[in-house]
Amino acid sequence: MNKLSSLLRGWRLSEYVVIAVEVCGSIALGIGIATLLLYTLGFDPGKGITLLLGGGFTDLDYLLSRATFIMMTGLAFSIPLMAGLFNIGGEGQMYLGGLVSLLTAIYTGNLFLALIAGGIAGLTLGLFIAVLRVYRGVNEVISSIMLNWTLYYLTIYLVTNTFYDPLAPHESIKVPQSARLGLISIGDFKLHIIFPISLVFILLAYFVLYHTKIGFEIRASGLAPKAAKYAGLNPERAMIYAMCLGGFFGGIAGSLNVLGFTYYIDTLLTTMYGMGFDGIGVALMGRGHPIGIVFSSVFFSMLIIGGQSMQMVLNAPKEVADALSGIIIMALALPYVYRMALSYLRARRMIAHGDH
């Protein structure tokens, strides 16, 4: 018995080794294909790959700050997904969170209030989408996508017409000093404090999901609604909880952006645009787990910044940079495909030989 259990433990370990090999292998494969693409397009592949993977590390603070926002929008997608909902509305929740934080900061000058107000705004939006879904049967994908546009234009309208800065009309009024999240310095290294704060939110999400009844209800309902119902849980209530949580973190993404990085919203939303959608990729790559999302958000951020520096240095079009990031991310998904194919083939073989 003892022997058996130690054998099993050994097998477990080797499973992790296999996963590590798979990940390294697929990254290598991704880089290989990317190199080939760069070569055929006539760019220097060595330089291109170095820039793509290394460009982000020239400014570590920027890398981590950028990761902060998509880490939060990653949560905004992954938590509802656990309950079986596709929250495509991280984008809108982020705009609203940023806007509400900005306004609260302007009117109260209170940092804490501004931050929480942004989160609550996102939460309310999430609640709205969930209520529509649960009680009215409105598909959450549709409603959240439409709300994205509504909030996009609403934010632009308010920033352009009402809250613009008279000295720089393409920007909003700045967040007052009293409500700003600043930088911390570790020796010579300066870091926007929003990154450590986002890690606190990650821990909060982890705690709620894995250590509270609400989290249990969300996870159980998403994995097996019937079983959850049998257990006396309420899958519909779980959807509402999950969307509230997701919306909260979506809102926080905007708040951190406005209160801790840009200190204003520009009239085209360039500092936020698209980050809600990046969060979807981050969430999926991080396997939906808060800790996984920390790593995947930094990785994503690395590819985005690397792509930008490649554009600048090599004069490569944006599309090439995006294609290269896409190739590397897809390569990372390969082990899944490989495993699925393997188990399918195994099942087929069993049928072929399966006579007793």
Contact residues toward another protein (CB under 8 A) are 5, 8, 211-214, 216, 219-220, 223-224, 226-233, 347-348, 350-352, 354-356
Residue number, 118 or 222, with CB nearest to another protein: 222
Of 47 and 211, which has the nearer Cβ to another protein?
211
Long-range residue pairs from 222-226, CB within 8 A, at least 24 positions apart, any chain: 222/81, 222/82, 222/83, 222/84, 225/84
Residue 350 burial class via C-beta count within 10 angstroms: exposed 0-12, middle 13-18, buried 19 and up = exposed
Phi then psi for residue 43, to 5 deg, are -100, 160
Least separation in angstroms between CB 348 and another protein: 8
- Smallest gap from Cβ 193 to another protein, in A, equals 28
Query: Residue 247 in contact with residue 83, Cβ under 8 Å?
Result: no
Q: Based on CB atoms, which residue is closest to another protein, 136 or 356? A: 356
Q: How far is the CB of 220 from another protein (least distance, A)?
A: 5
Cα separation, 173 vs 171, in Å, equals 7
- Least distance (Å) between residue 78 CB and another protein: 15
- Residue 4's Cβ-side half-sphere holds a number of Cα atoms within 13 Å equal to 1
Query: Which CB sits closer to another protein, 318 or 348?
Result: 348
Residues with Cβ < 8 Å from 39, sequence gap 6 or more?
A: 45
For residue 137, with 0-12 CB atoms within 10 Å meaning exposed, 13-18 middle and 19 or more buried, which class applies? exposed
With respect to another protein, which residue has the nearer C-beta, 24 or 347? 347
Structure tokens at 19: 């996963």
**Residue 266 C-beta: closest distance to another protein, Å:** 41
Is 15 or 44 the residue whose CB approaches another protein more closely? Answer: 15
For residue 242, the minimal CB distance to another protein (Å) is 15
